[in-house]
Structure 1
Amino acid sequence: MSAQYDQIGVKVADWDVLPVRSEYIEGHTYFKALGSVKGQAVLDLACGDGLYTRQLQARGANRVVGVDISEEMIRVARETEAAQSQGIEYHVSDVADMAPLGVFDCVTAVYLLHYAHSPEHLLRMCRNIHAHLKPGGRFVTYTFNPGFSAKGPNSTRYGITMLDFPESPWEGQAISAELHTKTPFTIHFSHWSQDTYEHALREAGFRDLEWMRPECSAEGLARYGQEFWQDYLDNPHAVALRCER
């Protein structure tokens, strides 16, 4: 995963303005699942160029740490931090092998778990996430939708195309998606079932798992209308998941 995002580089910034990537769908759903972070310590995994990491600090978190496996993504995030300091720390690491960074009220991860290359790798990620949480702390992630259907409405009109997505994907199958940004690029990840995710999280010690389908914000509905979003909401490429330590 590190290599692909090192090559994608600053193209990710174009991804941030796609309709489903904006505050209308993804951001709205993610922050609703997360709840208030005011006065809390937050660890943001798979932080990329820091899109949501900066928003966490702006929402009142008293300590924010971002981690990503890609040196290029962290370089961009650090450049932004240097240009306008928010007091955010950034580190390069595979979450499965991440050194202790402290104990946090919540850990977040937008697009992380589906990059696990095996169930064992996924479990190591989940155990390390659990180890970074205070008792009663929460983990909120946004991950590829295990129930995404090749027969369902296509998400191309929203800026994302699943490439040769099979009708019945199997565990660990390599999946690709093309992002239709100003400079299109393709990402590659693994397909895992809901059972696989839940087994790894529970084995790591998490409880009270709650899956949340994407919702559209009032602003998104006012700008585009319900009809525009309906195909995506019926067959979203990603969903939120919240659980507690």
Structure 2
Amino acid sequence: MAMQYDQISDAYSKAAGQFVFKRAVESYTLFKVIGPVEGKSVLDVACGDGYYARLFRHSGAARVVGVDVSEQMIKTARGRDEEAGLGVEYRVHDAADLPVLGSFDWITAVYLLNYAATKEQMLRMCQGMFANLAPGGRLVAVVPNADFDPAVSSSAKYGIAMRPPEDRMEGSVMSLDLLMDPPLTIRFIYWSRSTYEQAFAEAGFGDIRWHPLECSPEPEQVEFWRDYLANQH
């Protein structure tokens, strides 16, 4: 299912550039949780077009490796990195069969695990990331909110419309509409929090914590994102 990005890589990259949520909420939360990355090594799994990999280098990370299953996404990422001259390393790998690429202080997986077709595949993803962590290293993963309520969604305001399966059955296909120009639909798999937690624990991770998404504390940002943060996708 993740291979859909080979077909939509150009459209997705353009949409991501228009996507205010990614900058104002997702990026803000990710960097707040991680903290300073200066001098650190970072492995960005499911890096897409390299958006976060480039931000990590801009923020002073000593080594950044971006991995994605989509050859087209990696091609786009390499092209953008050449323009910026940041020296990010990009590799094409399936996250469920991830080789050891180093010993990293931080690993990020932004909307990776929700593409696991089975619980076993999710476990392999987590095991591969665990094998790439340095002692004391940390993984930060972003996954869809399993408790999202589409009945009270403010999708038109925020440009996001998520459609979870009506029965909330684990392993069911769900979709996310990015209401951009042109609109874009992405499909992935519905998993509960307990399934994610089980995969992390079985792979060897400890001290598993959930962090809600946040926006920057400026009053106008807090007011604008209030409805979204009360029902995050």
Shift of 1:66: 0.2
Q: 2:2–2:115: 8 Å Cα contact kept in structure 1?
A: no
2:113 corresponds to: 113
Asked if 1 retains the 8 angstrom alpha-carbon contact of 2:216 and 2:222, the reply is no
Shift of 1:110: 1.0
Identity %, equivalent residues: 47
Deviations 1:17-46 (A, max 9, x none): 322112x11110111111111111110011
1:231 to 211, 217, 227: 227
Between the aligned partners of 1:16 and 1:236, the Cα distance in structure 2 is 20
2:60 partner letter: G
Counterpart Cα distance in 2 of 1:166 and 1:74: 31
> Which residue does the alignment assign to 1:209?
208
Q: Does 1:184 align with 2:183?
A: yes
How far is 1:185 from its partner? 1.2
Deviations 1:177-230 (A, max 9, x none): 1111222111000010000000000000001111111111034x43x551x312
- How far apart are 1:151 and its partner, in Å? 3.2
Q: Which amino acid aligns with 2:17?
A: D
Deviation at 1:15, TM superposition (A): 2.0
Alpha-carbon contact 1:159-1:180 (below 8 Å) kept: yes
Tell me if the contact between 2:172 and 2:190 (Cα under 8 Å) persists in the aligned partners. Answer: yes
What pairs up with 1:41-190 in 2 under 5 angstroms? Answer: 41-163=41-163, 165-190=164-189
Paired letter, 2:184: F
Gaps of 5+ in 1: 238-245
Normalising by the residue count of structure 1, what TM-score does the alignment of the two structures yield?
Answer: 0.90
Alpha-carbon distance, 1:109 to partner: 1.2
Distance in 2 (alpha carbons) for counterparts of 1:115 and 1:167: 19
Deviation at 1:97, TM superposition (A): 0.6
Question: Using the alignment, how far apart are the partners of 1:208 and 1:225 within structure 2?
Answer: 29
Higher relative contact order (CA 8 A, sep 6+): 1
CA separation in 2, counterparts of 1:155 and 1:129? Answer: 33
Question: CA RMSD for the aligned pairs?
Answer: 1.5
SS at match of 2:150: coil
| More displaced 10-residue stretch of structure 1: 149-158 or 68-77 | 149-158
For 1:141 and 1:62, the matched residues in 2 are separated by 21
**Secondary structure at 2:152's aligned position in 1?**
coil
In the TM superposition, residue 143 of structure 1 has moved relative to its aligned partner by: 1.1
Determine the C-alpha separation between the residues in 2 that align with 1:104 and 1:119: 25
Q: Report the 3-state secondary structure (helix = DSSP H, G, I; strand = E; otherwise coil) of the residue aligned with 1:99.
A: coil
Name the structure with the higher helix share.
2
CA contact (8 A) 1:106 1:133 kept: yes
Q: Matched residue of 1:135: which SS?
A: strand
Distance 1:123 1:51 in 2: 25
TM-score norm. by structure 2 comes to 0.94
Q: Is contact 1:37-1:56 (8 Å) kept?
A: yes
Distance in 2 (alpha carbons) for counterparts of 1:188 and 1:55: 26
Q: Number of residue pairs matched?
A: 232
CA distance in 1, matches of 2:152, 2:33: 25
